[in-house]
């Protein structure tokens, strides 16, 4: 699997051991990938190019311990369930699922089914977080191919360690800058006094027109304008219509408002890859801190009145964490593009991969890569 750093891109910052959101201690990621069928679209039968991604901020064993969290939407043409409750309480619990636009309901049900199976003692009131981007160019998006059991399987598959990228999980049928896109991740190590923390980002990249693409500050859209079947067929109007979901996680102790501030920095990382946040796009972001275990009630009443106590980074020392968000988001998008392979889906629709050799030649000519 090719990634931005193995390709040689000179990206700033120090990544964690896996350069993934799972470098944040406790975070686990799992996928269900669904690929079947070829040829003309037969609604309800395929072809199928889709899936589910599960992100567990405290792992499977900590899903009932809420994390501090915040959200931000750059452009709201998209869905993230449970976001109003996060905005109200600053608390995130249960697994976070990312899938295709028409599979939100199935994944919502699956998150509830998984939680009831694993924690039958849990209160029946649940508001899972499920986010989406649209994969209908390659996938039979209206065919109900993602079912609750696929969401359950993605949660069951969640693990720490290396994370697969490109056409996997919810990113299976997604496109980015009119190349094959999908799932991508990255991390940064941040020093804070005598302590060291990790910031990680996970993206489901399904956004941007070819003309906007930039890599390491070099605009490349004009040089890579050919072999663009997505825009040449006028399938999506305007060019570049799509969405991006970003989940940022850290083990640094943060307040919910500070998590929201991290989420507001996500667009700065996306912009480094060329996008300006089109009106047609659903750009929705979630940030969480899994520090301070047991400190956030999430709004459920305790048997007796008490007080929550949290340790948190000083506001006037938070800038290195903002910088880490920008860096990880940029690199996660590039990782998704470099890892993805060409894919053909419904009705013969073709999504080409970012051409590695041409990218290398262009960046070498601009002095970004050594000759």
Catalytic residues: 243, 281, 283
3-state secondary structure of 118: helix
Q: Which residues contact 288 (CB under 8 A, 6 or more apart)?
A: 57, 67, 68, 69, 70, 92, 247, 248, 249, 250, 259
Distances (CA, A) of 131 to 39, 119, 155, 167, 201: 28, 23, 15, 17, 15
Question: If DSSP states are collapsed to H, E and C, what string results for 216-258?
Answer: CCEECCCCCCCCCHHHHCCCCCCCCCCEEEEEEEECCCCCHHH
Per the CB < 8 A criterion, the answer to whether 50 and 135 are in contact is: yes
Cβ count within 10 A of residue 243: 24
**Which residues in 208-240 are b (16+ Cβ under 10 Å) and which e?**
bbbbbbbbbebebbeebeeebebbeeebbeebb
Helix axes of 256-271 and 319-339: crossing angle, nearest 10 degrees: 50
DSSP letter for each residue of 290-330: --STT---TTPPPSS----------GGG-HHHHHHHHHHHH
Q: CA-to-CA distance for 297 and 290, rounded, in angstroms?
A: 14
3-state secondary structure of 146: coil
Q: Which residue in this structure is represented by tokens 């209908």?
A: 136
Q: CA-to-CA distance for 371 and 369, rounded, in angstroms?
A: 6
Element holding 264 (H helix, E strand): helix 256-271
Helix axes of 104-118 and 148-156: crossing angle, nearest 10 degrees: 50
DSSP 331: H
Residue among 150, 148, 193 at smallest CA distance from 36: 150
């Amino acid at each position: 699997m090719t990634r931005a750093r193995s390709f040689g891109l000179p990206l700033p910052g120090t990544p964690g051991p896996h350069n993934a959101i799972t470098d944040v201690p406790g975070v686990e990621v799992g996928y269900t990938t669904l690929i079947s069928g070829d040829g003309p679209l037969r609604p309800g039968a395929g072809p199928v190019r889709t899936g589910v991604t599960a992100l567990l901020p405290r792992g499977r064993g900590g899903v009932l311990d809420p994390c501090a969290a915040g959200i931000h939407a750059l452009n709201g043409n998209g869905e993230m369930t449970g976001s109003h409750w996060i905005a109200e309480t600053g608390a995130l619990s249960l697994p976070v699922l990312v899938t295709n636009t028409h599979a939100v309901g199935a994944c919502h049900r699956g998150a509830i089914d998984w939680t009831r199976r694993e924690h039958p003692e849990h209160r029946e009131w649940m508001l899972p977080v499920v986010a989406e981007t649209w994969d209908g160019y390659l996938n039979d998006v209206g065919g109900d191919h993602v079912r609750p059991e696929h969401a359950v399987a993605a949660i069951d598959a969640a693990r720490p360690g290396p994370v697969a990228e490109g056409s996997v999980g919810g990113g299976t049928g997604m496109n980015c800058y009119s190349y094959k896109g999908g799932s991508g991740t990255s991390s940064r190590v941040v020093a804070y006094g005598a302590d060291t923390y990790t910031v990680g980002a996970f993206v489901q990249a399904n956004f941007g027109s070819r003309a906007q693409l930039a890599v390491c500050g070099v605009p490349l859209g004009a040089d890579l304008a050919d072999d663009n079947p997505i825009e040449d067929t006028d399938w999506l109007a305007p060019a570049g219509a799509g969405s991006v979901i970003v989940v940022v996680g850290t083990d640094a102790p943060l307040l919910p408002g500070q998590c929201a501030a991290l989420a507001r920095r996500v667009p700065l990382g996306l912009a480094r890859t060329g996008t300006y946040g089109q009106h047609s796009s659903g750009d929705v972001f979630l940030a969480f801190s899994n520090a301070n275990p047991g400190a956030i009630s999430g709004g459920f009443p305790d048997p007796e009145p008490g007080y929550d106590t949290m340790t948190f980074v000083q506001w006037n020392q938070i800038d290195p964490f903002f910088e880490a968000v920008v860096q990880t988001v940029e690199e996660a998008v590039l990782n998704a593009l470099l890892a993805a392979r060409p894919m053909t889906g419904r009705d013969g629709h073709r999504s080409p991969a970012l051409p590695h050799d041409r990218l290398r030649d262009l960046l070498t000519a601009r002095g970004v890569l050594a000759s």
